[in-house]
Amino acid sequence: MLKKINRLTKKKDFDAVMQGKGLFSPFLIIKYKKNSQNLSRFGIIISKKVSKKATLRNLVKRRISEIIRLNLDKFTQGFDLVIIASPLIIDKQEMVLKYKEIEKILLSTLRKSGLL
């Protein structure tokens, strides 16, 4: 789990980031915006469009959160990021992408933008 100082918690913070720039992959959408702080903060959104089952949504959220936590020192400081999962992250047989696949997609998308 991410430390509280590295999490976006307020609605106004999420709304501000959603007005920022975006990165897109088939499985994830990443919105980001520069903040006035000396650290990066993250928010993760997994909607019911991804899955009706809370257990699957929570699994995706835990995997993304753990990837961020383990790579926190590699992130460019001073940005707020919101990671939104696409419904494609869970297939028709309700199988979530493997941890390594999500990690590869997330980190490569962030490298393209210079956030990592």
Average pLDDT, the chain: 91
pTM: 0.91
Q: Is the dihedral of CA 18, 8, 83, 39 positive or negative?
A: positive
Quick: pLDDT tens for 72-105. 999 889 899 999 999 999 988 888 989 999 999 9
Query: Do residues 113 and 106 touch, judged by C-beta distance below 8 A?
Result: no
> Per-domain residue ranges for the chain?
4-113
Quick: pLDDT tens for 48-78. 999 999 999 999 999 999 999 999 999 889 8
CATH assignment of 4-113, among 3.40.50.300, 3.40.50.150, 3.20.20.70, 3.30.230.10: 3.30.230.10
Q: What is the pLDDT of residue 37?
A: 86
